[in-house]
Chain A
Amino acid sequence: MKKNKYLLLLSSLVTLVLLAAAAIEENFFREWRRIQRSARSDSGIAALQLRQIVNPSLKVADRCVSCHLGMAPGESLVRGADVLRPHKPVVHDPSEFGCTICHGGQGQATFKEDAHGQVEFWPEPMLPREMSWAGCGSCHVALGVPSQTTLRRAELAFERLDCYACHRVDSRGGTIRPDRGGMEGPDLSFTGLRGWDGAWHEKHAKKAASEGGAWRKSFSPVSEEDQRLLEVFLRTRVGASSLVRAKSVFLSAGCLGCHRVNGVGGDDGPELNAAGLKDPGRLIFAGVPGGRQVSAWMAEHLRSPVSVVAGSLMPPVLLPEEDIRQLTFFTMSLRARELPDRYLPRDRVRAVRFGEREFSTDGETLYGAFCAGCHGSDGMGRRLPGLISFPSVAHPDFLAIAPEELMQRTIEEGRPGRRMPGWLKPEGLRPEEIRTVVAHLRRLGGVAPEPDPRPRRWVSSDVELGRRLFESYCRGCHGPEGRGGEGPALNNKVLLAGATDTYLVETIRRGRRGTAMGGFAEPTPVRPALSQAEIEAIVSFLRSLEGGSS
Chain B
Amino acid sequence: MPAIGTKDALTEFRENLRAAPKRILETAFRTGLPTTDRSRSTFVFGNVFLHLHSVRTHRWSLRWLTTAGLGIATLAAFLITLVTGVLLMFYYKPYPEVAYQSIKDIHFVVPTGRFIRNLHRWAANVMVVTVILHMARVFYTAAYRRPREYNWLIGIALLVVTLALSFTGYLLPWDQLAYWAITIGANIAQSPREVTDALGITEWFDPGGLQRLLLLGSDTVGEEALIRFYLLHVMLLPLVLAALLAVHFWRVRKDGGLARPDDADDILARERREETYPVFTEQPQKTYHLAAIVRGRTPAVGRGPENTVPSMPHLFYAEFGVLMLTVAVCLLLSLLWDAPLKELANPNVPENPAKAPWYFLGLQEMVSFSAFMGGIGVPTIVLIGLGLIPYLDREAEGTGRWFGGPGGWPLVRLSLLFGFAAALGVEAFAIRFGWLREWFPNIHQLAITVFNPGTVLTALYAAFSIWAMKRHNSTRAGALALFTCFLCGFTVLTVIGTYFRGPNWEFFWSPADWPGH
Q: Which residues does A use to contact B, with CB under 8 Å?
A: 1-5, 7-8, 11-12, 14-15, 18-19, 21-23, 25-26, 50, 52, 61, 63, 108-111, 114, 121-123, 279, 281-282, 284, 286, 309-310
**Given A50-B109, A121-B343, A123-B343, CB of A1 within 8 Å of CB of B327:** no
**Given A1-B62, A11-B325, CB of A19 within 8 Å of CB of B331:** yes
Q: Indicate which residue in B314, B325, B341, B516 contacts A7 across the interface (CB closer than 8 Å).
A: B325
Name the 9 nearest CB pairs between A and B, nearest first: A7-B321, A11-B324, A284-B516, A8-B321, A18-B331, A4-B317, A11-B325, A4-B318, A14-B328
Q: Is the contact region of chain B dominated by helix, strand, or loop, or is it mixed?
A: helix
**Given A110-B108, A111-B108, CB of A1 within 8 Å of CB of B343:** no
Residue in chain B with minimal CB distance to A27: B111
| Chain B residues near A123 (CB-CB < 8 A) | 343
Inter-chain contact A281/B320, CB cutoff 8 Å:
no
**Given A22-B112, A26-B115, CB of A1 within 8 Å of CB of B309:** yes
| Chain A residues near B303 (CB-CB < 8 A) | none
Return the CB mask of B319-342 against A: 1 if under 8 Å, else 0: 011101101100110110000111
**Given A1-B314, A310-B516, CB of A11 within 8 Å of CB of B327:** yes
Inter-chain contact B104/A108, CB cutoff 8 Å:
yes
Whether B105 is near chain A, meaning CB under 8 Å from some CB there, is yes
| Chain B residues near A2 (CB-CB < 8 A) | 274-275
- For the complex, what is the distance from the CA of A194 to the CA of B246, rounded to whole Å? 74
What's the nearest-Cβ distance from chain B to residue A275, in Å? 16
Inter-chain contact A108/B335, CB cutoff 8 Å:
no
B interface residues, tally (CB under 8 Å): 37
**Given A11-B325, A19-B331, A108-B104, CB of A63 within 8 Å of CB of B275:** no
Residue in chain B with minimal CB distance to A109: B108
Whether B432 is near chain A, meaning CB under 8 Å from some CB there, is no
Inter-chain contact B328/A15, CB cutoff 8 Å:
yes
| Chain A residues near B327 (CB-CB < 8 A) | 11, 15
Inter-chain contact A110/B109, CB cutoff 8 Å:
yes
Contacts beyond the supplied A8-B317, A8-B324, A11-B328: 6 A-B pairs with Cβ under 8 Å: A1-B62, A1-B314, A4-B318, A22-B115, A109-B104, A281-B343
Whether B166 is near chain A, meaning CB under 8 Å from some CB there, is no
| Chain B residues near A108 (CB-CB < 8 A) | 101, 104-105, 108-109
Whether B204 is near chain A, meaning CB under 8 Å from some CB there, is no
Inter-chain contact A8/B516, CB cutoff 8 Å:
no
Residue in chain B with minimal CB distance to A286: B516
- For the complex, what is the distance from the CA of A18 to the CA of B342, rounded to whole Å? 27
Whether B433 is near chain A, meaning CB under 8 Å from some CB there, is no
| Chain A residues near B108 (CB-CB < 8 A) | 63, 108-111, 114
**Given A1-B309, A12-B324, CB of A7 within 8 Å of CB of B332:** no
What's the nearest-Cβ distance from chain A to residue B70, in Å? 14
Whether B64 is near chain A, meaning CB under 8 Å from some CB there, is yes
- For the complex, what is the distance from the CA of A60 to the CA of B176, rounded to whole Å? 21
- For the complex, what is the distance from the CA of A63 to the CA of B108, rounded to whole Å? 9
What's the nearest-Cβ distance from chain A to residue B116, in Å? 10
Inter-chain contact B62/A4, CB cutoff 8 Å:
yes
**Given A14-B328, A22-B331, A26-B111, CB of A5 within 8 Å of CB of B317:** yes
Residue in chain A with minimal CB distance to B340: A121
What's the nearest-Cβ distance from chain B to residue A460, in Å? 58
| Chain A residues near B322 (CB-CB < 8 A) | 7, 11
Residue in chain B with minimal CB distance to A1: B314
- For the complex, what is the distance from the CA of A384 to the CA of B322, rounded to whole Å? 71
- For the complex, what is the distance from the CA of A281 to the CA of B514, rounded to whole Å? 14
Question: Which residue, A4, A15, A52, A309, has most C-beta atoms of chain B within 10 A?
Answer: A4
- For the complex, what is the distance from the CA of A23 to the CA of B317, rounded to whole Å? 27
**Given A18-B335, A22-B115, CB of A3 within 8 Å of CB of B64:** yes
- For the complex, what is the distance from the CA of A63 to the CA of B322, rounded to whole Å? 41
Question: Which residue, A8, A108, A309, has most C-beta atoms of chain B within 10 A?
Answer: A8
| Chain B residues near A286 (CB-CB < 8 A) | 516
- For the complex, what is the distance from the CA of A245 to the CA of B331, rounded to whole Å? 55
| Chain B residues near A111 (CB-CB < 8 A) | 108
- For the complex, what is the distance from the CA of A19 to the CA of B116, rounded to whole Å? 11
| Chain A residues near B105 (CB-CB < 8 A) | 61, 108
Return the CB mask of B103-133 against A: 1 if under 8 Å, else 0: 0110011011001000000000000000000
Inter-chain contact A63/B109, CB cutoff 8 Å:
yes
Whether B7 is near chain A, meaning CB under 8 Å from some CB there, is no
- For the complex, what is the distance from the CA of A110 to the CA of B274, rounded to whole Å? 54
What's the nearest-Cβ distance from chain B to residue A159, in Å? 46
14 A–B contacts from the bound complex (CB under 8 Å): A1-B309, A1-B317, A4-B314, A4-B321, A7-B318, A8-B317, A11-B324, A11-B327, A14-B328, A18-B332, A108-B101, A108-B109, A109-B104, A111-B108
